[in-house]
Structure 1
């Protein structure tokens, strides 16, 4: 089997490492290309046997799976470079939200899937957001699902849901880390706790919270009720927190959706420039 990756940035490198560590891919099967040669050779050193391609076309040719891990506005130039070597039997996996499946199916002859990873897939956790193209067979879908199940919990969504799903799954770690950082800062400032201790406590707390919600089917409201009692310290603090953050995540989502709409227009214009003039 040949598995091609185009793009060795943060997510391309993360996926390669996650799949190899999980045993879902062998380095000998992976061929990767990138504009940044230092990233390629760093991966080759980390995973002996991984092959470095000198061009995107070399990475794409004869690949059973081809992962496109490039920026949205770079898709057109990459597709122009590789389309001549693509065939209907190949499966192209885009990890980029604003590039529509229908656009890829119009521009290339391959089978297409859009699967959005999360940074936490690096440790075999979190979700991957799965959207199927029209040319995939049931066998193709099953194989891709099994592949991503090695590093994540695949969750099937409609393409119309990709923005809000990505907000939770892919952007969420950064949002929660922002809140956690403020929590840690408050512990350091208010009580003089060592930052390393506060960070360890907060990290273990977040891991345990996620496990409790998943393994015991505990909803956020149920978890709050488990921890707080009327008139207690936690209840009083929760009241302050709710008042301070009310509406914050609505504003966050309004912002991401507005930016996403702009990105969709820009990507469509870059993919089909003549039709948009």
Structure 2
């Protein structure tokens, strides 16, 4: 099986590196391209067997599974250029949320799917969000699911929760990274701890928290109950969080959805 990657930016690069590290594919199975050739050729330095081609058309011609790792507004012209080569035995996979399965199916004759990865997939962990086109067979779904299992836990989602699921699984690492950094910065401002010391302690804390949840030793609520004893220091800290967090996350989801709907309108005009 040949895997095509069109676009070797942030997420395209993560898929390439994660697939190889996880032994999901061999470098020789990958066919990649990028509008800036230098970015694609970079992978040849570490993985000489990767096939780097000049055009997206060449990727589509040679690959069985074709990941489109480009910006939403680049999809329509790209798919128009490729559709003559996209025979019904191929599967085009979008990694972006504003492009619906229905829109993909409206313009190409091949099978389509959507796989929204997360930066956590680079560590061969976290989830990937998967949706399938109506013409995908059970075998097609198994093929995609088995590929993504090497680097993530694939979760099949309905179209109506695409944005919020992506906010949690894909954007979430950046959101919580920001909160942890703010936590570290405040510790440095308010006490004599150094930034390096606070960063090390906070990083190890996040890793340990993840392992507790992974091993199902605690749930999020039971972990809070165990650490926050009545009259203790943790309880005082939780009290501040309850008072200050307020509707912050409600506003976050409102803002991400507003941008999502704005992108949907721009994409819709292209496809219409």
Range into which the TM-score falls when normalised by the shorter chain:
over 0.9
Provide, for residues 35-57 of structure 1, a one-character-per-residue CA deviation record: whole Å limited to 9, x for no partner.
11111111121222111111110
Q: How many residues align?
A: 272
- How high is the TM-score relative to the length of structure 1? 0.96
In structure 2, the residue matched to 1:11 is 11
Task: Report 1:255-266 matches (<5 A).
Answer: 255-266=255-266
Q: What is the alpha-carbon distance in structure 1 between the residues aligned to residue 40 and residue 152 of structure 2?
A: 24
Give the aligned partner of residue 110 of structure 1.
110
Q: Say which is worse superposed, 171-180 or 186-195, in terms of deviation.
A: 186-195
Query: C-alpha separation between the residues in 2 aligned to 1:143 and 1:208?
Result: 33
Deviation at 1:221, TM superposition (A): 1.5
Q: Deviations over 1:113-142 (max 9, x none)?
A: 101000110011111001111111111111
Paired residue for 1:125? 125
What is residue 37 of structure 2 aligned with on the other side?
A: 37
Output the TM-score relative to the length of structure 2. Answer: 0.97
Query: What do residues 19-47 of structure 1 show as CA deviations (whole Å, max 9, x unaligned)?
Result: 00100011111111111111111112122
Post-superposition Cα deviations, 1:70-97, rounded to whole Å, max 9, x if no partner, equal 0000001211221111100001111010
| Match in the other structure for 1:154 | 154
- How large is the RMSD of aligned CA atoms in angstroms? 1.1
Q: Which moved more, 1:230-239 or 1:213-222?
A: 213-222
Alpha-carbon contact 1:75-1:271 (below 8 Å) kept: no
Instruction: Give structure 1 stretches of 5+ with no counterpart.
Output: 273-277
Partner of 1:84: 84
- Corresponding residue number in structure 2 for 1:53: 53
Equivalent residues of 2:4, 2:65 under 8 A apart = yes
CA contact 1:62–1:86 (8 Å) conserved in 2: no
Q: Is the 8 A contact 1:68 1:94 kept in 2?
A: yes
Cα deviation for residue 63 of structure 1 reads: 1.3
User: Structure 1 CA distance, aligned partners of 2:218 and 2:98?
Assistant: 33
Deviation at 1:159, TM superposition (A): 1.2
C-alpha contact (below 8 Å) 2:80/2:107 kept by paired residues = no
Runs of 4+ in 1 over 4 A off after TM superposition: none
Query: Residues 217-256 of structure 1 correspond to what in structure 2 (within 5 A)?
Result: 218-256=218-256
What is the CA distance between 1:219 and its match in structure 2? 2.4
1:74 is matched with 74
- Superposed CA deviations along residues 196-227 of structure 1, whole A, max 9, x for unmatched, are 22112111111111221231263221111011
Q: Distance in 1 between matches of 2:143 and 2:175?
A: 32
Instruction: Give the secondary-structure state (helix, strand or coil) at the position aligned to 1:85.
Output: coil
Moved more, 187-196 or 31-40: 187-196
CA distance in 1, matches of 2:221, 2:267: 39
1:275 aligned partner:
none
Q: What's the offset of the Cα at 1:150?
A: 0.5
Give the drift of 1:258: 1.0
Any stretches of 5+ residues in structure 2 without a counterpart? none
